[in-house]
Structures are given as C-alpha cells and as structure tokens.
Structure 1
C-alpha cells in the first residue's frame, strides 16, 4: 500500500516541470492523478508515463484563463472517480519586468493563470474535499517572500495565493481540510535552460543554497507534496513549507 493509495488528485500545470514531478511522485504512492494543462502534446505524453505507474490517471486539457469554466475540471474528475482527495494548484505563467514597466496585461497574465484559478478551483473543490476531509496544496515563491527585482507581478500573485491559503486554512479547518503552501526551488526545464545560458550566474546562485543544489522536481518537490497530501501531515495547515534547500529560512 502506498501512502496515497486510491486518493484522487488534481494537479494544475501537471504536464511538465514541478507539476509532472509531483504527479509521478504521487502516482508511485498509489494516487490516481488528473493532470491539467493547456499543452495537449506534453499532456498526453505525461499521461502515458503516469498510466504506466497508475493506470487510472488522466490528462485534462484546459485553459486556466477561462475562469468561468474552471468548475468543469473538478466536475470531470469527480464524475469519473466519484470523489476528490487532493487539489494541487501549481500552474502559473508570468513575465519579468520592473514595476515601472509593468502593464495591466502583465498583471492579467500572472493573476489570470495563478491567483484566479487557485481561488476558483479551491471553491469548486470545497464540497468534495469536505466529504473526503481532503488537502489543498498551493504554491508560493521566494520572489514574493523576498521581493525579487523584476518579479513584481509574479510576486504579487504568489503572495495573494498565500493570503487566501491562510484564510482557507482558518475557515475550512472545521471540515477537516488542510491547506498548505509549498515554496520551491527546483531544477526545472527553465532553470536548466538558464544554467546553460548563464552558467556563471547559475553557479553563483547554487553556491548560496545551504544544501548546495537545486531541488529535484520528483524526489524533492514531489516527495514534499506527497507528505502534504498524506495522512502524515494532518495536523499541519496554513503553513508555507520552504522546499528550497535552505535558501530562505522563515522566522
């Protein structure tokens, strides 16, 4: 028996990067994983990989900017599997620029793919998570926690996600629902591309990580998500879990 045996999990942005790492880690613990992504080609490829581990897992193609229809994602999963145990709001798209240069379109992209889908999917999932006493895992970033330059619109959306996560933890604890936040530092495809484009800068950043490396999307970030989705974390809620090799140590 895996730690997540027969638990039904939704992961947004699940076709690649951290999302796919979490999906594989959870599937290996017995979870049935529904990955949600805009990219059909990558989504189907990841779905095929997942099904070799957890045959009932599936891919749902969806545009998270289509906020009115986000409830359909939850309905599709519950109609197929009869329940929902875990919601993971991982997807987020954003551009880098200074606050001075940020436009409404930049804000709309960051909040439209990150904050609003997190908010609406949490609401849509609530009735089903009440039934299972389930878990919500949302995502923060060091960009918001430390105020990284050129990350203003991204940081704003990430901190908004942290804010509603804490409120939900307070409001929904009475239903046995845990709401926690992961703030990761991982060796994603984007980081790998950056390491090749700016190797000296990459090495300098890596040298400042106390554990001396970027996290693995499955073994580090994925395993932390498994913990937060499992029975082992049932007395933890409203917390920001730094899965970043010690880069940021919260007080």
Structure 2
C-alpha cells in the first residue's frame, strides 16, 4: 500500500498478541515491517509471533513485559535495538482496568492498576524509545478511549488513564516536533474476542449499540484500526501530530 516504505522498519506494539494490538501488528507486518509485540502471557506471545512470521515473512520478537514496570520497559527497548538496530514506530495499545466498576467502588489498587498499565506504561515506553525515534524521525501512536472523551459509566480509572495519555501525547507532540517525531492518539471502537462474547451473551444490547453507530458496525482491528496506524507511521502523515482520531464509526462525533 505504501510502496514498501515501511519494509524493514521496526515497530513496537504493546499488547500485540491479541485483540486490537494483534490487528495492528498484522497491518504493519503486511507492509513488511519487523515487529516487536509485548504482553504478559508467554504462550500467546509465542503463538502470535510464529503466526505473523509465517504469514508475512517478517521478523517478529515477542517479549513478555509488564508495561507498568520501568525496568521491564527498558529491557524491551534494549532487546528491540539489539535485534533490529532501530525503532521507527511505537504503538502503546496495552491497558488493564477495572471496567464496569463505579468510581465510588474503586479501591486505590484498582485505580493504580489502570494508571500503571496505561499511563505509566505509555510514559515509560515513550521516554525510553525517544533517543531511537529521534534517529529515525519516527512515530508514536497512543491509544485513548471514548470512555474519557464522553464519560462512560463504570470507566473512571480507565478514562483517567486514557485522558492522561492524551494530555501527555499533546505535550510530547509539541516537545518532539522539532526532532521530526509525530505523536498522535487513536480512540478505537473495534470488534475483539471479548466483544464477540458480549455479543453472544447480550444480543439485544449489542443490536442497540450497533444502531447507535452511524456506520452500523464495529471496526476491524487489522483493516480499520491497523490501517490508520500504518498511515500515521507513513510519510503521508508526516505533517500530522498532536491529534486525537476517533475511530468509532461516527459515534465519536464531537465539535
């Protein structure tokens, strides 16, 4: 699609073994990029890495890592550079939270889980990847959420982490623009295995949700979400930075 401009480049995708992250990994691998995927489940990582390598004939490094652990993140960056000698794009997708729990029912541990796995992880990865992104004039793609944009019920800690990521991303876009690094944010609404299960368990609620989306469907993680990530990492998006893109089929309409 992009005339091999991403071929051989190195892309880190946190939470890249399944769901949206794996869709993004597939989109980059299809363009010929070499991939680093992180996650907590070693088996999922190994299976995802093997499948990506076999299907797209690219090099894939699966590294078990907790993004909220500063030393673990430093290790991911070091192993990436050792393997590929460069970092061209960083996609901060991974996030854990106590979704469905009202604000007043959150414990500090619940809130910490969202902040460490989301906001701190994004901060650690961005900070540690910066020297290498500066060399390649690379890209950062951070994931936020409509939960923060629109105040979704039961999503207080998740929304707090995601809005923190959005604010940090805008500052990074301003600070890093002079180095040729663009930093953007995506708020996705995508079909995932978890959403598939929810669809089966609550078909009526699923239909209502679909009817509230102007395009009447959820995004495909690879073609819809991954496709936009590939665009943001390409030369075509080199003048785009500091923006939040709501990939929600029109349900994210806002001024």
Q: TM-score under structure 2 normalisation?
A: 0.96
Partners of 1:144 and 1:158 within 8 A in 2: yes
Whether 1:179 and 2:183 are equivalent positions in the alignment is yes
4+ aligned runs moved over 3 Å, structure 1: none
User: What aligned pairs does 1:1-251 form with structure 2 within 5 A after superposition?
Assistant: 1-52=3-54, 53-96=56-99, 97-251=101-255
Deviation at 1:58, TM superposition (A): 1.5
Q: Which runs of 5+ in 1 are unaligned?
A: none
State the Cα deviation string for residues 129-157 of structure 1 (Å, max 9, x = none). 00000000000100000000110000000
2: CA distance between counterparts of 1:147 and 1:132? 37
1:203 alignment partner, SS class: helix
1:70 alignment partner, SS class: helix
2: CA distance between counterparts of 1:69 and 1:222? 25
State the Cα deviation string for residues 38-86 of structure 1 (Å, max 9, x = none). 1111111110111021331221111223223311111110111111000
1: CA distance between counterparts of 2:218 and 2:106? 29
State the Cα deviation string for residues 157-177 of structure 1 (Å, max 9, x = none). 000000000000000000000
Partners of 1:31 and 1:54 within 8 A in 2: no
2: CA distance between counterparts of 1:227 and 1:113? 26
Partners of 2:32 and 2:58 within 8 A in 1: no
Deviation at 1:103, TM superposition (A): 1.0
Q: Which runs of 5+ in 2 are unaligned?
A: none
1: CA distance between counterparts of 2:25 and 2:64? 15
- Which segment drifts farther, 7-16 or 92-101? 92-101
2:13 alignment partner, SS class: strand
Partners of 2:67 and 2:124 within 8 A in 1: no
Partners of 2:144 and 2:165 within 8 A in 1: yes
In the superposition, relative to structure 1, how do residues 83 and 192 fare at CA in structure 2: closer, same or farther (>3 Å)? same
1: CA distance between counterparts of 2:57 and 2:66? 25
Deviation at 1:220, TM superposition (A): 0.6
Aligned alpha-carbon RMSD (Å):
0.9
Deviation at 1:3, TM superposition (A): 4.1
Number of paired residues?
A: 251
Deviation at 1:35, TM superposition (A): 0.5
